[in-house]
């Protein structure tokens, strides 16, 4: 099972190439022309990230997230989310690597099979780095007017956090 998961990417590459050959497609030429297009996309992503990441890094360095954690903890307890996970919830939408770091910290500090550890793991597994995704997609597509994408995406994050806490209680409350 583990081998299959780790071989997934090469298997998809091989499968796509074989299928293409069978359908008489010049696989290598298609690969090159698609990859060339990728380079153009990259040029549009760089400015989007160069704008977003300094703000994310500044926010992390300022201690604002810790401050917000203190204020939000009682609210979270009221809706059934372990207050220890507040730091994770705050960094999750802005930084994937920071969230993984905070989550790993919680999991090892409280134990992987504790309520907090499990909730942190499920939160990590069921949400994405929202602001990064928005910056990359809209940057690549040249979108300036984002309309309601940000609030709708944050709704999904919030629902994911609540659902993670509830799901852990549902499956492991014995």
Partner 1 sequence: MAMAAIWTGMVVVSILCGLAQGSGTQVAAAAVEGAAAAVELSLSMAGILCLWMGVMEVMRRSGLAEGLSRLLRPVLGRLYPAFARDREVMDSISANVSANLLGLGNAATPLGIRAARLMSRRTPGVASDGLCMLVVCNTASIQLIPTTVAGVRAAAGCRTPFDILPAVWLASALSVCAGILAAWGLSKLWRD
Among 33, 70, 51, 23, which Cα is nearest to 136's? 51
Binding mask 74-103 for partner 1 (x = CB under 8 A): --------------------------x--x
Question: Is residue 38 close enough to count as binding partner 1 by CB under 8 A?
Answer: yes
Question: Is residue 71 close enough to count as binding partner 1 by CB under 8 A?
Answer: no
Report, in Å, the least distance between residue 74 CB and partner 1.
20
Give the count of beta carbons closer than 10 Å to the beta carbon of residue 167.
15
Residue 40, burial from CB neighbour count under 10 angstroms (0-12, 13-18, 19+) = exposed
Among 91, 92, 156, 76, which Cα is nearest to 124's? 92
Q: 46 or 75, CB closer to partner 1?
A: 46
Question: Is residue 61 close enough to count as binding partner 1 by CB under 8 A?
Answer: yes
Helix axes 149-172, 115-126, angle to 10 degrees: 140
Among 50, 70, 75, 77, binds partner 1 (CB under 8 A): 50
Report, in Å, the least distance between residue 129 CB and partner 1.
8
Question: Is residue 59 close enough to count as binding partner 1 by CB under 8 A?
Answer: yes
């Amino acid at each position: 099972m583990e081998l299959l998961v780790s071989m997934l990417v090469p298997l998809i590459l091989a499968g796509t190439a074989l299928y293409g050959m069978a359908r008489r497609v010049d696989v290598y030429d298609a690969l090159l022309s698609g990859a060339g297009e990728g380079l153009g996309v990259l040029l549009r992503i760089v400015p989007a990230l160069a704008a977003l990441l300094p703000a994310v890094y500044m926010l992390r360095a300022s201690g604002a997230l810790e401050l917000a954690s203190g204020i939000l903890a009682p609210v979270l307890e009221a809706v059934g989310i372990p207050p220890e996970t507040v730091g994770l919830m705050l960094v999750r939408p802005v930084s994937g690597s920071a969230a993984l770091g905070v989550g790993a910290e919680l999991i090892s500090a409280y134990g992987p099979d504790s309520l907090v550890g499990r909730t942190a793991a499920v939160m990590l597994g069921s949400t994405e780095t929202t602001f990064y995704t928005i910056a990359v997609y809209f940057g690549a597509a040249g979108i300036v007017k984002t309309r309601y994408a940000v609030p709708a995406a944050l709704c999904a994050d919030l629902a994911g956090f609540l659902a993670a806490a509830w799901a852990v209680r549902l499956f492991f409350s014995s």
